[in-house]
């Protein structure tokens, strides 16, 4: 673990400098980095983490890294590349690269390795410049357009299928230990503090299932009655225990708020209908479309559509509140619209506390 906060100072009178970057299991006897005993560091960490966890408004921003402890069940970006390239009938990935100028664009942007987000972005750009198949186009160009469309549609379905892995895990599976502990520990807050708010870019249902495992109630913006429709007003509601002799509102402790910034594997929308429902987007028996922002350059444009614009604006609004703490878990900071919101909050909100948790 490394210290990234310049406000954390070494607790020694002779030093009046920010604590240097030091690993917990490492001591360094050089002149630049004095020897620091592990338990001294742990005390400083504990003190500052307590400040974060005790914040009146505690926010979580969870990225794809937060689901990787499920082993090979949760897909990485490398896995999505492999699956998308494999699951397209009669279409070679090499042809898609050539049609969309993927290789040239990757070199120009100095991107190394296979990048599914870049490839899907190239497909979007290609289709925006060649929007329709018509008789005016030559047969070869029409064939290219159709192949790119098919690849993009199949890739979207593949991403949804691969990220819908929760049904393969039993609720009592040991893989749930981290998520269960995380939700239970942070979700049970003092009644005088605001509810825990989890913002996630993940499509999977890991937080929903973990909450169910430990008996937490999730307010996710959907109505409790069927059909479950998205209604942003529900985030302003709360749950109280009326069977009590206490005066005033007796808020039950086990409630969290969940905001899925990029959609979910169980969100659907019917044609010519802006209402979001819960359902199975992979069920072909009904005419509906999935509601999620797939990894491509268009995610910045789609973030201004409903319901994403409300969810992201809520994230921005919460960061501006006093006595707020943000814990980033498994988030790679590859979403510029979210990065900008965090940077702006750091500049304008002097009371904001930020913790970033990474594997390294």
- pLDDT 10s per residue in the chain (360 long)? 344 443 444 444 344 444 444 444 444 444 444 455 567 777 888 888 889 999 999 999 999 889 888 877 888 888 899 999 886 667 889 999 999 999 999 999 888 889 999 999 999 999 988 876 655 556 667 888 999 999 999 999 999 999 998 888 887 788 899 999 999 999 999 888 999 999 999 999 999 999 999 999 999 999 999 899 999 999 999 998 887 666 666 888 899 999 999 999 999 998 888 889 999 888 877 778 899 988 887 777 777 788 999 999 999 999 999 999 999 999 989 888 899 999 999 999 999 999 998 766
Q: Please, are residues 87 and 151 in contact by the beta-carbon 8 Å criterion?
A: no
Give the SS3 label for residue 233. Answer: helix
Q: Please, are residues 186 and 53 in contact by the beta-carbon 8 Å criterion?
A: yes
Q: Which two tokens stand for residue 157?
A: 């379905």
Q: Which two tokens stand for residue 52?
A: 């974060």
Cα–Cα dist 264/295, whole Å:
13
> For the sheet containing 255-260, what is the strand order?
217-219, 255-260, 196-200, 57-62, 324-329, 353-357
Secondary-structure breakdown of the chain: helix, strand, coil percentages, each rounded to the nearest 5: 40, 15, 45
CATH 3.40.50 fits 54-71+173-357, yes or no: yes
In the chain, CATH 3.40.50 sits at 54-71+173-357
Lookup result for tokens 């995610």: 299
Torsion of CA 175, 176, 178, 180, to 10 degrees: -170
Cα–Cα dist 228/266, whole Å:
11
DSSP per-residue letters across 279-295: S-TT-TTS--EEEE--S
């Amino acid at each position: 673990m490394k210290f990234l906060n310049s406000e954390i100072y070494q607790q020694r009178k002779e030093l009046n400098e920010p604590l240097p970057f030091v690993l917990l299991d490492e001591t360094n006897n050089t002149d630049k980095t004095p020897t620091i005993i592990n338990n001294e560091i742990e005390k400083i960490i504990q003190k500052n983490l307590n400040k974060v966890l005790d914040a009146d408004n505690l926010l979580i921003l969870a990225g794809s890294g937060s689901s990787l402890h499920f082993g090979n069940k949760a897909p990485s970006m490398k896995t999505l590349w492999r699956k998308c390239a494999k699951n397209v009938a009669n279409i070679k990935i090499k042809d898609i690269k050539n049609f969309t100028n993927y290789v040239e664009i990757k070199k120009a942007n100095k991107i190394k390795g296979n990048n599914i987000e870049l490839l899907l972005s190239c497909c979007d750009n290609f289709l925006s410049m060649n929007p329709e198949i018509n008789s005016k186009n030559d047969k070869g160009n029409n064939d290219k357009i159709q192949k790119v469309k098919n690849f993009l549609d199949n890739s979207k379905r593949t991403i949804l299928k691969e990220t819908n892995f929760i049904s393969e895990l039993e609720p009592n599976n040991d893989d749930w230990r981290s998520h269960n502990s995380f939700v239970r520990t942070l979700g049970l807050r003092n009644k005088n503090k605001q509810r825990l708010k989890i913002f996630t870019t993940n499509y999977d249902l890991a937080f929903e299932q973990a909450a169910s495992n430990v008996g937490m109630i999730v307010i996710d913006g959907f109505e409790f009655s069927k059909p479950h429709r998205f209604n942003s007003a529900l985030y302003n509601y709360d749950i109280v225990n009326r069977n009590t002799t206490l005066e005033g509102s007796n808020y039950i402790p086990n409630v969290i708020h969940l905001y899925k910034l990029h959609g979910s594997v169980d969100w659907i929308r019917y044609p010519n209908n802006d209402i979001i429902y819960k359902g199975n987007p992979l069920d072909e028996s009904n005419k509906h479309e999935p509601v999620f922002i797939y990894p491509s350059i268009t995610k910045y444009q789609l973030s201004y559509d409903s319901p994403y614009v409300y969810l992201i604006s809520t994230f921005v609004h919460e960061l501006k509140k006093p006595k707020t703490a943000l814990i980033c878990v498994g988030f790679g900071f590859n979403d510029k619209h979210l990065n900008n919101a965090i940077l702006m909050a750091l500049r304008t909100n002097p009371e904001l506390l930020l913790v970033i948790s990474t594997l390294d």
